[in-house]
Amino acid sequence: MRQILLLVLLFVVGQWFVKALRRAQTQTRAGTQPGQGAQPGQGAARSANGGASGKAALPEPMVRCAECGVHAPRSESVNVGARSFCSSGHARAYDARTTAQDRPAR
Ligand SMILES: [Zn+2]
């Protein structure tokens, strides 16, 4: 009988823990504001060793969308060749535009 009580308690504590963890995550996500890349001179050298350790601590390098010019974090950007885009839709739009320019118009 005591084991069942312990199990229930464990379950409740687990639920509470998950809820608290989720709340902390959403708070961190809401707290990040655009316009934090105001450090000139550094960034290119840092991204080389950005491995699996300290993922959240490092400031993410920003890349510029070749279609609309919006700066997006590298992990969320779409890379086609040497160019970066804020979304796959813009990558396609850019590709369609450039190929249309190459082709002779009829
Ligand atoms: Zn874009």
- pLDDT tens readout for residues 13-33: 889 988 988 988 888 776 655
Compute, in angstroms, the gap from residue 1 CA to the centroid of ligand 1.
61
Compute, in angstroms, the gap from residue 39 CA to the centroid of ligand 1.
23
Instruction: Work out the mean pLDDT of the chain and round it to a whole number.
Output: 79
Compute, in angstroms, the gap from residue 67 CA to the centroid of ligand 1.
5
Question: What residues form DSSP beta bridges with 80?
Answer: 83
> What is 33-66 written as a DSSP string?
-S-----TT-STTTGGG--SSSTTTSPPPEEE-T
- Answer with the residue of higher pLDDT: 26 or 58: 26
Answer yes or no: is pLDDT of 70 > 90: yes
Answer yes or no: is pLDDT of 54 > 80: no
Q: Whole-angstrom Cα distance, residue 49 to residue 86?
A: 24
- 52, 45 in Cβ contact below 8 A? no
| pLDDT at 37 (0 to 100) | 52
- Dmax (CA) for the chain in angstroms is 84
